[in-house]
Amino acid sequence: MMKILDPVRIIETIGKLGAGKSIKYAFIGSGCILAVVVPVCYAVTSVKSHGKGKERNNASENRQGEIKCTSECKMQEEDREHAHRMEENEQVHEHHMKEIEIKKNADIEILEKRTELRKERDAAKASQPLVDLHMDGMPESYHEALKNGTVHVSGERNLGFSWLREGYDTGLVGPTDCGKSVFVMQVAMALARGRCDVNLSSEWHDIPPMPVVMFSLEQSNHEIREYYGSVIDNLSTLKLYAGSRITPAHIITVIKKEMEKAGGSGVVAIIDNYTKLEERAGVKAMRQFCADLDCLRQQGLEKGSPLTPLKVYHARSDWKLSSPLTPASVRGDKKNVCFTNNFLYLTYCKQGSDKRVLGFMKLKHGNKEAVSILEFAGTKIDQFRYVGKGGSNDLGEPTEPSEESGDNKVGPGRKSKYSLEEIMGFYNKVQAKECTYKDIERNYGISRSAIRKRVYRARIAHDVHG
């Protein structure tokens, strides 16, 4: 402990020694004190500083250890999670590959079964020709037939009309609601009677009454009865099948029976409407139907009992009325036109709303460029009447105002039993799901197609004149 100096003694000492010596001894004493105190202070400070540095170093080492431990734990945890994910991914991949393998094997099995079925069908087709058309051996060539005396004079004839040739596949196309059904019904009645009461062309080729079978898919028996009534009731040579339930198989069966009964007179088969039949039956069924129908036609030619098909088609909705009809204008499979011998078109005429243009898209014999103008004859039942020759410039919408208002028809053409207001009432009830088209047909005798045609026609008239 530091000793405190006495001031009295200091003054006495200065008096004895004098001022100079006292100052000298004071400096020496101070130096001694400094010489002792400074090292001691330095030593103490050094000891304290070393202690604090050691503490800091220990704390830093501890923190680094903790960080290292935490980092190692985190890395170990991440490694475990990564390994777990990889294991899960591997399991998912294995499961996915198993599913792919199972599907692949199933597809291979299906393809093998299809191949087997195709081979069986091909073998069946090879052993059984279509429609029981039996051919003995290879067909003979022209020179062989000439040598054997089997080349006969052609017995082909025109069936009343120059464009309807016996044994030829014939088509007719036209836009919706232009009178195709009226036209083919008039043709059917003329062939079944052996005469044409209202001329459809400039000439008529005399024929005896012949069997005609007609399939009307767009009309019901009730409509046929209402529109034609007693005019066809006693026409025994005309067999009429109506309704949308007619299938390709039904048509083939009926035609075969009629051909067997007809003998050498042949049969005319009218299908109205072929486009509707094609859309209902599908591509596969129609492909088979076409093959069967053509086989029946060839069979009839060989046996001297020709089959003459007349098929009605719808024109495409995007076809312009002023443009000539081409194969591309026909709805459905383009092969229908390619494989048809003669192809007619019936469409609207610029000369008036009651007139129509009849021309040819294909014509094997005769003038393909010939065009006829027809008009509604105003008879008890709807029929057309030949007016005269025309040209392609007659195609198009009528230049005069339409005779049909938004309501019932007032000009030539089929008269409607119900007003447009009543028809729209039926249509709106169906749209509101208050009843069905079948209910309306059963209760009121008007079919779905007739209602939709009237509604469509009224809307077109509203767009044109409104």
Q: Note the pLDDT tens digit of each residue in 147-161.
A: 887 666 556 788 999
pLDDT tens for the 466 residues of the chain, in order: 445 556 566 666 666 666 566 666 665 665 555 555 555 566 556 656 666 777 777 777 788 878 888 888 888 888 888 888 888 888 898 888 989 999 899 889 898 888 888 888 777 666 554 444 444 567 778 788 778 876 665 567 889 998 999 999 999 999 888 889 999 999 999 999 999 888 888 888 999 999 999 999 988 888 888 888 888 888 899 999 998 888 999 999 999 999 998 877 899 999 998 988 988 888 788 888 999 999 999 888 888 889 999 999 999 888 888 888 888 889 887 777 888 899 999 999 988 888 999 999 888 887 888 889 999 888 888 889 999 998 888 888 876 544 444 444 444 445 566 778 888 888 998 998 888 988 888 777 788 888 888 888 788 776 644 4
Residue whose C-alpha is closest to residue 333's, from 348, 355, 311: 311
CA 161 – CA 397 distance, rounded (Å): 27
CA 216 – CA 224 distance, rounded (Å): 9
Residue 287: the pLDDT is: 86
Residues 426, 451: contact at Cβ < 8 Å? yes
Q: Compute how many other C-beta atoms are within 10 angstroms of the C-beta atom of residue 418.
A: 17
DSSP symbol at 409: B
CA 291 – CA 130 distance, rounded (Å): 7
| Three-class secondary structure of residue 337 per DSSP | helix
CA 348 – CA 396 distance, rounded (Å): 6
For residue 6, give the amino acid letter.
D
| Three-class secondary structure of residue 268 per DSSP | strand
CA 310 – CA 204 distance, rounded (Å): 18
Residue whose C-alpha is closest to residue 158's, from 363, 351, 298, 8: 363
Q: Note the pLDDT tens digit of each residue in 385-404.
A: 999 998 888 888 876 544 44
Taking only Cα atoms into account, the Rg of the chain, rounded to an integer number of angstroms, comes to 53
Residue 156: the pLDDT is: 73
CA 142 – CA 149 distance, rounded (Å): 10
**What's the predicted TM-score (pTM) here?**
0.59
